[in-house]
Copies of this chain bind each other. A is one copy, B any other.
Amino acid sequence: MVTIKEIAEKCGVSITTVSRVLNNKGDSISDQTKERIFRVVEELNYVPNAVARSMVTKRTNNIALIVPDISNPFFADIAKGAEKTCVTNGFHLFLCNTDMDKEVENEYIRVLRKRLVDGMIITTQNNEEYDVIFEEMLDSNYPFVFIERYSDKLKNVPGVFASNIEGAYSITKHLIELGHKDIAFLTGPLVTSNAHYRLEGYRKALTDYKLPINPELIRNGNYKVDGGYKETKALLRKKIPFTALFASNDLMAFGAYQAAKEFGLQIPEQLSIVGFDNINMPGVIEPQITTMDIPAYDMAVKATTILLDLIEGQTPKESKVYYPLQFINKGSTAPITEVKRFA
């Protein structure tokens, strides 16, 4: 590797001069010298060592985004928002995919925290047992931001959140108003706060409308297609009657749809299905799935902005932001009057 020293030698100047020129701080370096340096840099194909640079500047200009499942378009949107914001601010984004594995998530956090990136954005996956890491990071003033990860113990961490309770409430209400009484619910992985909140919204709606909560209709999913499929199959096999199903995210709703189809059910005539997230999926099902839109991209932009403020040492204008969700009717629900109940 060619270093700045070699450039300096070859140019017959000091390394200070080279450094200055290369960093555009050469207010008092003659044009000839500058030119000569640039020429030699080109010639020797010199690439400054960012690691050495970071050591003295204490900056990498990189941030990391930790996501549980990059194949979920919801997180792909988050990634895009974060990336865009980074790029327009001279930062770079490293994406870290944990595959919903706590250990992997933690390992990433541990590694990244060693100053490899200037800060991180962490999405979902709660793992209370590891909250201590965040407390340490908070103590040592390491900049990080949450997206959709809430913990009472970590109230002071800036974050960006969807109004999950309200969202789940309103989509459940939609089903109730169509006359549904037996509404199945697929949770997300209960290690995440949003999975809890969505369940809470569902429960609250049922309670407010004086409908019983049937624990048998509530099943634990994993926010993935296969989970939605499996749990719905299980529900259908058990023959507990239900006329609507609320999957905590769209991916599971897809799985539920598939399971229902295989069971020969017409959607929405025989079964209403709703999801959550409003992900942009190429899946060409008909009808598409009614859902709650979460402004993932905007949330990511906001989270990144907050993080960058933190990195610059500024207190961000808002450090906790809640986003309202929007009901998107795509036709996968129907009034119960039309329901031809399946056996």
Contact = CB atoms under 8 A, between A and B. Distances in A.
Interface residues of A, number: 54
A240 to B, nearest CB: 23
A80 B139 CA distance: 33
A343 interface: no
A320 interface: no
Interface stretch (A113-121, A164-172, A185-193): A113-121
B284 A254 contact: yes
Interface stretch (A89-97, A144-152, A213-221, A297-305): A89-97
A255 interface: yes
Q: How many copies of this chain does one complex carry? A: 2
Given A47-B113, A51-B51, A116-B51, A255 B282 contact: yes
Given A45-B140, A70-B70, A99-B83, A62 B282 contact: no
A11 interface: no
A52 B50 contact: no
Interface string A75-101: 010011001000100001111110100
B60 A70 contact: no
B60 A51 contact: yes
B50 A114 contact: yes
Contact of A51 (B54, B71, B96): B54
A70, A79, A93, A225 — most chain B CB neighbours (10 Å) = A70
A92 B108 contact: yes
Contacts of A225: 282
A73, A97, A261 — most chain B CB neighbours (10 Å) = A97
A72 to B, nearest CB: 9
Given A94-B96, A255-B282, A282-B283, 5 more contacts: A45-B136, A49-B55, A92-B111, A93-B96, A283-B283
22 contacts: A45-B140, A47-B113, A49-B114, A49-B115, A50-B111, A51-B60, A51-B114, A52-B55, A55-B55, A64-B94, A70-B76, A70-B79, A93-B97, A95-B96, A95-B97, A225-B282, A258-B282, A258-B284, A281-B282, A281-B283, A282-B283, A283-B283
